[in-house]
Structure 1
Amino acid sequence: MNRGEDIRGLVHEMFEGIRIGDPRLFLERLHEDVVLTIPGSSSWCGVFEGREAFINAYLGRLRRSATSGVGRLEPARILVDGDWAVIESVNALTLEDGRVNLNHYCMLFRFDEGMIVEMRQYFDTAGREAVVGPFDG
């Protein structure tokens, strides 16, 4: 098995856990100094530096809005190139008032020794802001 197959398998396992409501493997693989970048101009865009900032601010804001965690995240495609994995996925976040924020993602993860050290997320941040509200994390 080569490094690309290892990363593909790991990503598949992480997303399977998220899909069934168990994000532990994903959270365990976040490096302490991970950096998440969400390009764009809505309030959901920006740079989150460090594992705690990602978990407490970004994921925390989603959890405060949703009826069950951060919603279902279904990967459609996983591509690997060197230390990078590209994941195309769909997320249906059900809010407390019953509305659903359906978003299509393209996520890039860079791995170093099995840990996620960098993430980029591309999704409809304006749509998220319109349904979920502004980011206030």
Structure 2
Amino acid sequence: MSSTDETRTVIENYIRALQGGEAVERRGEFFAPDATWTLAGDLPTSGTWVGPDQIFHGFLPAMLARFDTTKPMRQEVRGVIADGDRAVAEWTTRATTAAGAEYVNDVVIAFRVVDGRIAEAREYFDTAYANRVLFAGN
């Protein structure tokens, strides 16, 4: 398998686990021990999170706290483009906020895969929209 094929497979498998609600349990399978996840912008959750535990027990819960997790949260994937150890995934997130509002935001994540695991993820979405809908009044 070429590095491009391996990278695409790792990212597609991670997205399937995310969509299936298995990403937290399988984080060690998908993320290198020193992996970083960076959320661009100036949201309270923006910054760089280091290691699977910080990513899945710090960053992710801080974001999920803004949503009604009793309602579906979907990632409608548009595609994954891979080249060597790099991949870009594009999707639309659809969810309901904790306040009951509809949340729809387009997301792009640039990944780097090393030795079959995600070493780096840089996430981009409309943070002004997210701030209005998710963090207003906080």
Q: Decide: shared fold, TM above 0.5.
A: yes
1:118 maps to 2:120:
yes
Given the alignment, which residue of 73, 76, 79 partners 2:75?
73
1:16 maps to 2:6:
no
**Equivalent in the alignment of 1:84:** 86
CA contact (8 A) 1:66 1:96 kept: yes
Structure 2: distance between partners of 1:84 and 1:26:
21
Provide the aligned length of Structure 1 versus Structure 2: 135
CA contact (8 A) 1:31 1:116 kept: yes
26-35 or 119-128, larger mean C-alpha shift: 26-35
**Equivalent in the alignment of 1:6:** 6
Instruction: Give the direction of change, closer, same or farther, for the CA distance of 1:8–1:25 in structure 2 (3 Å limit).
Output: farther
Q: Say which SS state the counterpart of residue 65 (structure 1) adopts.
A: coil
Structure 2: distance between partners of 1:33 and 1:59:
17
Q: How does 1:38-53 map to 2 (within 5 A)?
A: 38-53=39-54
CA contact (8 A) 1:78 1:87 kept: yes
- By how many angstroms is 1:40 displaced? 2.4
- By how many angstroms is 1:26 displaced? 5.9
Structure 2: distance between partners of 1:95 and 1:76:
23
Q: Residues 17-73 of structure 1: CA distance to partner in whole angstroms, max 9, x if unpaired?
A: 222333257623112211122222343422222222211221011222222289212
- By how many angstroms is 1:117 displaced? 0.9
CA contact (8 A) 2:4 2:83 kept: yes
Instruction: Give the direction of change, closer, same or farther, for the CA distance of 1:50–1:22 in structure 2 (3 Å limit).
Output: closer
> Any unmatched runs of 5+ in structure 2?
none
> Any unmatched runs of 5+ in structure 1?
none
Percent identity for Structure 1 against Structure 2: 24
Instruction: Give the direction of change, closer, same or farther, for the CA distance of 1:24–1:49 in structure 2 (3 Å limit).
Output: closer
CA contact (8 A) 1:103 1:124 kept: yes
In the TM superposition, structure 1's runs of 4+ consecutive aligned residues that sit over 4 Å from their partners are none
TM norm structure 1: 0.84
Q: How does 1:124-135 map to 2 (within 5 A)?
A: 124-133=126-135
**Paired AA for residue 114 in structure 2:** D
Instruction: Give the direction of change, closer, same or farther, for the CA distance of 1:110–1:103 in structure 2 (3 Å limit).
Output: same
**Paired AA for residue 16 in structure 2:** E
